Chain A
Amino acid sequence: MAMLRAVKTAFLPRFSSLISTARSVSTLVVAEHEGGAIKGPSISAVEAAKALGDGNLISILVAGSGPSLQEAAAHAASCHPSISQVLVAYSDKFTHSLAEPWARLVHLVQQKGGYSHILAAANSFGKNILPRAAALLDVSPITDVIDISGSSQFVRPIYAGNALCTVRYTGTSPCMLTIRSTSFPVPAISADTKSNEARISQVDLSTFGEDSVGKSRYVQHTSQDTERPDLGSARIVVTGGRGLKSAENFKMIEKLAEKLGAAVGATRAAVDAGFVPNDLQVGQTGKIVAPELYMAFGVSGAIQHIAGMRDSRVIVAVNKDSDAPIFQVADYGLVGDLFEVIPELLEKLPEKK
C-alpha cells in the first residue's frame, strides 16, 4: 500500500501534466459586427485565441438579424485563417447586443459546444456581456488580458496599469476572458483566405431560455459621426487636455489630426470641461490605445490617463509645465506653449501620404 502511494506520488505529477496537454483546447469567440463585418477588436480576440494552445479549434459566434448578419457571417468565415467554424444565431432578440439575451445565448452555445475557453474583446460590448454569461455558467471571468502563456495562465493590468498581475485559472470549464485588442494586433491578412474559409452553421435556438430576456429594451443610440480613424485602432492619436482651454481651441487638435491622418483623443479634464464628447476619452475609464505615435498637448499625465496610452510606441508631449508627469513617459518632450507649437506643427509637418 505504502509502495503504491509512493509510486502514485512519483508518477502523478507527470501523468496529470500529460493529461492537461492532451486535453484539447476549443475556443468560442463572441463577436461583434457592424455593417456586415466583424469588428476589429473581435478579430483581435481570435488572434489571442491562437495563443491558448496548438490545435485550438476556434469557433466564432455572431448573432443578430437581417441581411447584415448574413454578410457578417460570411465575413467571419474568411476574416481570420484560424477560424474553423462560424456559429450564427438568427433572431431579432440579438440585434442590439443587449446583455440579457446575449448572455443566455453564450450559455446555450456553451452547453452544446462544451468549449474550454470563451473569449470576447474587452470593449463595451464584451465587458457588458461576458461577466453576465460567466455568472450563468458559475465561473470567474478574467478581464482585459494582455498576454497569454498556455491555456490557463494570463497577464492582466491592475491598478490602472501600474501593476501587472499573472493569474492561473483553476476553475472549471469554460475559462472566460476579455481581451485587450491593442495587445493582440492582427497581422495583415494574406490574399489567399478563400482556401481556408470556415464552415457556417446555424445555432438551434429552440431551447433558448427566455428567462430575463425582454426585461430590457433598446431605445436609441447616438453616435459621434466622425470621418477620422477609429480611436482604438488608429496609427496616430493626437490628444488634447485641459491646456486647450476651450472647445473652440480644441479644433486645433482636430486640424492637426487631420493633417496627420490621426484619431483625436482627450483627457477626462477636457471631456468634463465640455470640449469634446466622452467617447474620445483615453484612460483607465475611457479607451485604451496603443498607436505608433501618441501626441499629447496640454496633458498633465495623471495616472488614470497614462493607463490608457502607456503602451504607445512613441509618445510626444507638449506642455508648458516642465514638471508635468507626462514628460516621464514621453519619448520626445517639448516644453512650450501649445498655442504656438500647434500652429507651427501645422505649418511644418509634411502632408500625409
Chain B
Amino acid sequence: MKVLVAVKRVVDYAVKIRVKPDKSGVETQNVKMSMNPFCEIALEEALRIKEAGLASEVVAVSMGSAQCVDTLRTGLAMGADRGIHVEATGALYPLTVAKVLKALVEVEKPRLIIMGKQAIDDDCNQTGQMVAGLLGWPQGTFASKVLLDREKQLATVEREVDGGLETLCLDLPAVITTDLRLNQPRYATLPNIMKAKSKVIKKYTPQELNVEIKSDLEVIEVTEPPKRKAGVIVSSVDELIDKLKNEAHVI
C-alpha cells in the first residue's frame, strides 16, 4: 500500500511575521521557511505506518515555487521514499491544491493520503476535506490516533473534536488530517540528509496534470491586527482585585 503525504513550505512557526507596508501580504523574503508543523506530523505518521509493515512506500508531495524542493528534501531526509514537486507560481488556494492532489492520486494510486489539518500561514483548514470530497473518499480530520487494519482495509481514527474525542472507522482508501497530538516527528540525521540528496523528486506542472489554476478569492489587503493598549503591572493581589472590580468591572 502506498501512502501519499502532502507537505507545505511556510514561514517558520517561531518567526514573528511582518506585514508588508503596502498591505499586499506578509513579508516572506529573507524569512526562515520550514515545513508546516502539521505536515511534519503527517509525514511522521506515514513513516511509522511503513515501519510497522503496513505500507510499502511513502511519497511526499509539495506544490508551489522552486524552493519547495527544499521542503521535499527535508521530507526525504526524514524517511520518505521519493518526492513529487508540482511547480506553480503565485498563490495556490486549497481548492486548486486539492484538485492537483486528486490528479496525482490518479497517477500514483495511493490507498491513503495523510496531511496536516491546517497550514500555519493561511490557517485555512480545508485542503484535506476538499481532496476527500473530490475523490469521494472518507475523511478522518483532526486525527490524534490512527490504527490501520490491512486485512480489512480499514482505518480507525480518533479525532479531536470540541468537547472531547470521537472515534471513526473509515474504509480505505481514505484521507486523514493530523492534529498536533498524533505523534512527535523525528529529526533527520546527517546520514539521512546525505541519503536524501540521491532520492528522486519528480516534477510536474499543473498543466501536465490538467488542473487549471484559478482563484475564487481576491486579497484586498493584509493588515496588522489592532494593537492592545499598554497594560499596567500591579504590585499585589489586593491591587489586582481592586482594578478588576473598580476599573475593569469584570468581577
Q: Does B233 contact A (CB under 8 A)?
A: yes
Q: Does B167 contact A (CB under 8 A)?
A: yes
How far apart are the CA atoms of A139 and B233 in the complex, in Å? 49
| Residues in chain A near residue B204, CB distance under 8 A | none
How far apart are the CA atoms of A326 and B169 in the complex, in Å? 41
How far apart are the CA atoms of A107 and B130 in the complex, in Å? 13
How far apart are the CA atoms of A138 and B136 in the complex, in Å? 14
Tally B residues with Cβ within 8 Å of A. 82
Pairwise interchain contact A285-B180, C-beta atoms closer than 8 A: yes
- Which one of B48-56, B104-112, B158-166 is at the A interface? B158-166
Pairwise interchain contact B237-A331, C-beta atoms closer than 8 A: no
- Which one of A16-24, A59-67, A215-223, A246-254 is at the B interface? A215-223
Q: Does B191 contact A (CB under 8 A)?
A: no
* Contact of A134 (CB < 8 Å), options: B130, B141, B170, B236: B130
Q: Does B224 contact A (CB under 8 A)?
A: yes
Q: Does B200 contact A (CB under 8 A)?
A: no
Pairwise interchain contact B141-A99, C-beta atoms closer than 8 A: yes
CB distance from B101 to the nearest CB of A (A): 11
| Residues in chain B near residue A168, CB distance under 8 A | 217-218, 220
* Contact of A135 (CB < 8 Å), options: B19, B118, B134, B179: B134
| Residues in chain B near residue A224, CB distance under 8 A | 163-164
How far apart are the CA atoms of A127 and B224 in the complex, in Å? 25
Pairwise interchain contact A278-B224, C-beta atoms closer than 8 A: no
Q: Does A265 contact B (CB under 8 A)?
A: no
Q: Does A171 contact B (CB under 8 A)?
A: yes
Pairwise interchain contact A159-B123, C-beta atoms closer than 8 A: yes
Q: Which has the most chain A C-beta neighbours within 10 Å: B132, B137, B169? A: B132
Pairwise interchain contact B219-A167, C-beta atoms closer than 8 A: yes
Known: A131-B126, A332-B243. A166 touches B221 (CB 8 A): yes
* Contact of A219 (CB < 8 Å), options: B120, B167, B225, B243: B167
Q: Does B138 contact A (CB under 8 A)?
A: yes
| Residues in chain A near residue B220, CB distance under 8 A | 153, 166-168
| Residues in chain B near residue A215, CB distance under 8 A | 137-138, 170-171, 174
Known: A279-B163, A314-B250. A212 touches B123 (CB 8 A): no
C-beta contact mask, B168-203 vs A, less than 8 Å → 1, else 0? 111100100001110000000000000000000000
- Which one of B57-65, B79-87, B92-100 is at the A interface? B92-100
Q: Does A136 contact B (CB under 8 A)?
A: yes
CB distance from A49 to the nearest CB of B (A): 19
**Residue of B whose beta carbon sits closest to that of A353:** B251
| Residues in chain A near residue B232, CB distance under 8 A | 331-333
Pairwise interchain contact B234-A333, C-beta atoms closer than 8 A: yes
**Residue of B whose beta carbon sits closest to that of A292:** B250
Pairwise interchain contact B241-A348, C-beta atoms closer than 8 A: yes
Known: A236-B250, A260-B251, A279-B163. A332 touches B240 (CB 8 A): yes
16 residue pairs A–B, Cβ–Cβ below 8 Å: A124-B159, A131-B126, A135-B131, A144-B123, A163-B224, A168-B218, A218-B168, A220-B167, A268-B180, A278-B160, A293-B250, A327-B231, A331-B248, A333-B231, A333-B233, A344-B237
